[in-house]
Amino acid sequence: MNTQNAEFLKKSLLNLGFGEKLNAELDREIEAKTPEFKLGLSHEFNQKTVDYTLHFKAGDNQDMYFFNKYDANIRHENDPEKDVSQTFYINKGNGVTAKEAFNLMEGRSVHKQLTNLENQKYQAWLTLDDQNLTDSGNKKIKHYHENYGYDIEKVIAGKGIKELEDPKLKDDLFRSLKKGNAQQITVAHADGNKKYFIAANPQFKTVDLFDHQMKKIKREELLGTGTKTAKNLKSPSQSQEESPKKKQSRKSKMSV
């Protein structure tokens, strides 16, 4: 067995969020010189089960094995018709992680460093395209490159988010949002601090806003609070052109 190759594969699995549970089975398949094999495991995120099937294939001389892709399926025990599946491809041990795959399949966006055909690295936000499928039925991936002009830090800066006042909490917030998580924030209102969840929305150069039950907040509901913050908050369905163009003061709240 090519131990160097096996260790590279194990490191890739670890970095991609699959842990070390598959290592022993991986070694057995490599030692058996199985030309092509699959390994499976499951993770749970936000009380939802995701089943993964990882695909491995030997090179021409069967001395090297490659981890080319994995299939992910969000399982709905009570209603299988709601299951969501997607295949994610791996390039030299790099790609969308297990958790990022879940976030993409849940409809959120992930920020990744990618490599083009000229082997040049670049940054881009990724989103699954529900409207366009590949020949195999996989959702195509939309790329929003750096020159698209989406800067999530600028989008939420100066909007009364308490986490931005602490360097560590600020760093944790942006790291989480770039992984595709819906992250909780605290916003200062006239009648006290309130909790929300936000998620990146690069397509409309904004962020989506959710309540504590992860339901998207509509503008009408926010206006019902009667606070200045609520009037400045924008629902996820609003375009940037619809948002107020008033100059924001230091005490202005989140405009989503």
**Would you say 185 and 208 are in contact if contact means Cβ atoms under 8 Å apart?**
no
Q: Which of 69, 98, 127 is the last residue of a domain?
A: 98
Cα angle: 89, vertex 31, 42; to 5 degrees: 45
Lowest pLDDT segment from 36-40, 44-48, 218-222, 249-253: 249-253
Q: Model confidence at 45, in pLDDT bands (50, 70, 90)? A: very high
The DSSP 8-state label assigned to residue 202 in this structure reads T
When the pLDDT of each residue in the chain is averaged and rounded to a whole number, the result is 85
Give the CA distances from residue 216 to residues 112, 115, 196, 208, 211, in Å, rounded to whole numbers and listed in that order: 25, 34, 10, 7, 7
In a domain, 136, yes or no: no
Confidence (pLDDT) at 119: 85
In a domain, 107, yes or no: no
Confidence (pLDDT) at 82: 85
- Residue 59: which domain range? 3-98
In a domain, 13, yes or no: yes
- In total, how many domains does the chain have? 2
pTM comes to: 0.82
Q: Is the pLDDT of residue 177 over 80?
A: yes
